Structure 1
Amino acid sequence: MARPTKPQGEITRGTTAPNRLRRVDRWIAATQRSALRAGDRPLAVDLGYGASPVTAVELYARLRAVAPRLEVAGVEIEPARVAAGTAFVAASGGAYPGLSFRRGGFELPVDRPPVLVRAFNVLRQYAEADAWRAWSDLCGRLDPAGVLVEGTCDEIGRRAVWVALGPEGPRTITFAAHLPALGRPSDLAERLPKTLIHRNVPGEPVHALLADFDWAWATAAPQSAFGPRARWTAAVDLLARTWPVHRHAPYGGRPRLRLGELTLPWQSVAPR
């Protein structure tokens, strides 16, 4: 009998909280619907969901609203966390059909290629080279129509940055913030994914982007009289004069701007 394969990866701190990932969840639900509905049995994976199953349960609820056939698997290395998720489902009395929890890591212990892998606050503890390797490994395990969404947020989900990747590699980068609490756009630098956080230095595209966004934010300061959303929208309009900002649905447009989001093609910030 073959011995069980050891999960690939390291145990995270497990820090989590209700609604911490609401920004990325609503972005996935709005922009990735074709992927979420792909195939007869679409599967989403919440990789490294943490000490509580709450964010996996929230992902299930938010995505099933736009993709009713979607199944969700929470994947964690720590057995106690898997047991907590499994116990939650068992105690729900059948309220969450298609939601499951299992032990594993980057190898993704599921029975079919997922149409979505959400990996949030997982790769920050890894070296940059390991984060690039994890991207490659996870992209190679996606359904042909699938997407990997990998990123980082603060403890209460007010600031976040994430990258969307397909089987071919990175596609877009999104910056998202609770606008009333934002000092300036470059405050989001501390939430850059591991593949970029050490590249926020002069000469790198992501550094230039954040510097230009700060300039646009300062220039748009008079719009603060109409609220932080108006200022953010005006700043993005200025930034779009020199950067390839996604301006139209599903990634752009006023509805996404009013949520405090900015999405650009990955190549505009890819490391040199």
Structure 2
Amino acid sequence: MSPRPPSRPVGTVTRGTTNPNRLRRMDRWIAATHGAALRRADHPVAVDLGYGAAPWTAVELLHRLRTVAPRARVVGIEIEPARVAAALPYEQDGLTFRHGGFEVPLPHDPLLIRAANVLRQYDEDQVADVWRRLTARLAPGGLLVEGTCDEIGRRHVWVALGPEGPRTVTFATRLGSLDRPSDLAERLPKALIHRNVPGEPVHAFLRDFDRAWAAAAPYASYGARQRWIRTARALSADWPVLDRPARWRQGEVTVAWGALAPRD
């Protein structure tokens, strides 16, 4: 169990923008990749950190996790007390809301912390400290998922981290809305968005992603999904793509963090 959290929440209030189904792509990935760990856990607790002005994302996270881990519980944590008060009527079996911030004020370390669209307003040099603070709160085998999406969840990029640090970066999109993979650059998480410049690995990756997408244009006659799958397969020849067609079909590509990590 972690030390007693500070008396005042750590962090700053976010804009609070939220919409129903905004985080469905991230939730779907979490359920697929982390569901087994939640099923095995004695305390299968997930945190929706900074859920915003309305509690929709926390409610949806509970329902999606329970499809793969029926004992899963979700705690929505918000630094703005008025948002917590507004969310209380939505509490239900397995879902509670609590006032707090990056200290994650829970009696048991959670197995999952999801922080979506939270670090967007922070400076890049603050991200590593927040990551360390949050991963230190994870239970053994736990996962932090931190990233950014657009307002209706069509485009999303997130980093998955364990207690040891960042592991993977996932690019996810509604394929019908995509002109080219580099359209996702505007949704890169804070740790990467300012590194999308020549000489940085994430810039080279998105360049190669676009080239593979262009080369796969003949597959567009079979649909955007088939074109994306062909693109991901070609991309994996030169980049450490960690997932396979079952995830590519969902409009996802997951890459090892080390291949995209910023250069000092």
What SS does the aligned partner of 2:199 have?
coil
What SS does the aligned partner of 1:117 have?
strand
User: How far apart in 2 are the matches of 1:142 and 1:220?
Assistant: 40
**Cα deviations across residues 206-225 of structure 1 (Å, max 9, x unaligned)?**
00000000000011111110
User: How far apart in 2 are the matches of 1:118 and 1:140?
Assistant: 14
User: How far apart in 2 are the matches of 1:35 and 1:45?
Assistant: 15
1:29 maps to amino acid: A
Would you say 1:234 and 2:236 are equivalent positions? no
- Correspondence for 2:117: 121
User: How far apart in 1 are the matches of 2:217 and 2:57?
Assistant: 35
- Correspondence for 1:155: 151
Task: Map 1:103-182 onto structure 2 (within 5 A).
Answer: 103-182=99-178
2:9 maps to amino acid: P
Cα contact 1:114–1:142 (8 A) shared by 2: yes
User: How far apart in 2 are the matches of 1:186 and 1:42?
Assistant: 36
User: How far apart in 1 are the matches of 2:178 and 2:100?
Assistant: 36
What SS does the aligned partner of 1:10 have?
coil
Cα contact 1:38–1:115 (8 A) shared by 2: no
**Cα deviations across residues 38-97 of structure 1 (Å, max 9, x unaligned)?**
4312211000000000110000000011111111100001111111211222xxxxxx31
Report the CA distance between 1:238 and its aligned residue: 1.1
Would you say 1:270 and 2:257 are equivalent positions? no
1:60 maps to amino acid: L
Matching residue within 26, 29, 32 for 1:27:
29
Cα contact 1:106–1:138 (8 A) shared by 2: yes
Task: Map 1:1-16 onto structure 2 (within 5 A).
Answer: 5-16=7-18
Would you say 1:243 and 2:239 are equivalent positions? yes
- Correspondence for 1:86: 88
Cα contact 2:102–2:134 (8 A) shared by 1: yes
Matching residue within 245, 251, 255 for 2:246:
255
User: How far apart in 2 are the matches of 1:147 and 1:38?
Assistant: 14
- Correspondence for 1:249: none
Cα contact 2:78–2:100 (8 A) shared by 1: yes
- Correspondence for 2:3: none
What SS does the aligned partner of 2:26 have?
helix
Matching residue within 30, 45, 54 for 1:52:
54
Cα contact 2:36–2:69 (8 A) shared by 1: no
1:231 maps to amino acid: R
Structure 1 segments, 4+ long, off by >6 Å, are none
User: How far apart in 2 are the matches of 1:213 and 1:184?
Assistant: 8
What SS does the aligned partner of 1:37 have?
helix
Q: Which structure 2 residue ranges, 5 or more long, are not aligned? A: 1-5
Identity of aligned residues (%): 64
- Correspondence for 1:92: none
- Correspondence for 1:209: 205
Question: Does 30-39 or 218-227 show the bigger shift?
Answer: 30-39
Give the CA RMSD over aligned residues: 1.4
What SS does the aligned partner of 1:32 have?
helix
Task: Map 1:67-82 onto structure 2 (within 5 A).
Answer: 67-82=69-84
Q: Which structure 1 residue ranges, 5 or more long, are not aligned? A: 90-95, 247-251
